[in-house]
Structure 1
């Protein structure tokens, strides 16, 4: 049988000459053992209590690579030394560092960091691909951007987001490569990706420049301008009516103290029931206009579901 005769614990009190003498020993963490006596348990040497957050780490990463040259080996060596003592790849830190570099418009550094991350087999997401594509376009490396878009399009054909098509169409529109612009839009049509209002406006401008009025009319019939759109004014998401002369753009870029902006803010403060009622009224007006125009319903359906060939 286990004997506790010779067991002594610092938590016990001793009696000397009728007076009790305590042992006020304080430990950081006390664990009771099997003999029902406390014993000191000190923290491990290799465990640190000071943890560095991802924001400070991302700032250190940006400072680490910002003063380097554009030599590939030097940048990759600095990045390897930064993550050398990490047990896992610091993906969140790298993504926050990329966001900081994007705000500072350090496009060359963004390209280097993303390619280094891809070589490590990490972070191959749509967001990283789009950041790399945007950085290549902003840096003037059009051929590499086209090659990257072709690779992403062939690999993720049916799941490619609309923002990639929008970025490439805006690129070709700015450089005047209208044939490539039509090719990208034809791919969108085949995949069933609905274009944004900005894409439709750019295509309409190109059709008018090239005197292709028949295709311009087909484009307007298939993708009519929206009646409502969302704008961000003073950090608020406001639903505003779109006018033919594009007054909403003047609203957002004008003086915030104008009467039109106050009217837009009043629309924002309306309830959901009033907005739904307004939408139903505009929908009824559209149906009445379509009925009064005398167009056959089958013709409208064919125009809405037909395919266009722009190449």
Structure 2
């Protein structure tokens, strides 16, 4: 081997382990040399991504547009779904972030009917089906006095996600039944938990 700075650092790594170095440490021998190892620096891989990040630029304006559009509509399913379909018609990807922001805006404004309409439309499209969305929908149904619909959606959630329902949704259903003075239903939810 050539004597030089690289030979000293890479020498033990390139050389085959000797019997003496392989069996150091009480004769048990791990099969690996115990000599110091050279530090190898790697270049960071800038193209490595765990997931593709959705673009959130302009999502606040899109959300506000959705809130304003839905607020002006009558309580008819065809009119609401048509307007929401037009809202997404020219998007290359479904505006998930804008829809989630719109639901938060509607929740702050206490527009329960519009939350129900938008959430059911999102569910029909198979979009934004998160625990927060389900929680917001259950709250909106409760505030709008539709306990039967909330119970139907709760049963669907339990059938679909048998083992992964968060405590927050159980708490929401207990709260709904408790405010409606339905102690038997509260006990059912507790036993399902």
Q: After TM superposition, is the score higher than 0.5?
A: yes
- Name segments (4+ residues, structure 1) moved above 2 Å: none
Partner of 1:109: 114
For 1:72 and 1:177, the matched residues in 2 are separated by: 30
Partner of 2:31: none
Greater percentage in strand: 1
Instruction: Specify the SS of the correspondent of 1:176.
Output: coil
Partner of 2:40: none
Partner of 1:186: 191
Shift of 1:175: 1.8
For 2:89 and 2:192, the matched residues in 1 are separated by: 43
Partner of 1:292: none
Shift of 1:163: 1.0
Give the conservation status (yes or no) of the 8 Å contact 2:113–2:144: yes
Partner of 2:20: none
Q: How does 1:20-169 map to 2 (within 5 A)?
A: 53-169=58-174
- Structure 2 unpaired stretches of 5+: 1-55
Shift of 1:187: 1.6
* CA spacing shift, 1:121–1:67, aligned 2, 3 Å: same
Give the conservation status (yes or no) of the 8 Å contact 2:115–2:137: yes
For 2:99 and 2:144, the matched residues in 1 are separated by: 20
Shift of 1:169: 1.2
Q: Which stretch of structure 1 is more off in the superposition, 58-67 or 100-109?
A: 58-67
For 1:161 and 1:123, the matched residues in 2 are separated by: 17
Relative to the length of structure 1, the TM-score reads: 0.43
Greater radius of gyration (CA): 1
For 1:52 and 1:160, the matched residues in 2 are separated by: 32
CA distances 1:129-183 after superposition (whole Å, capped 9, x unpaired):
1111111111100000001101101221211100111111122222221111111
Partner of 2:51: none
For 1:170 and 1:58, the matched residues in 2 are separated by: 29
For 2:181 and 2:123, the matched residues in 1 are separated by: 32
For 2:103 and 2:173, the matched residues in 1 are separated by: 21
For 1:187 and 1:62, the matched residues in 2 are separated by: 36
Greater percentage in helix: 2
Aligned length: 138
Relative contact order: is structure 1 or structure 2 higher (C-alpha 8 Å, sep ≥ 6)?
A: 2
Q: How does 1:11-22 map to 2 (within 5 A)?
A: none
Give the conservation status (yes or no) of the 8 Å contact 2:135–2:172: no
For 2:77 and 2:140, the matched residues in 1 are separated by: 17
Shift of 1:52: 6.3
* CA spacing shift, 1:92–1:52, aligned 2, 3 Å: closer
For 1:140 and 1:109, the matched residues in 2 are separated by: 14
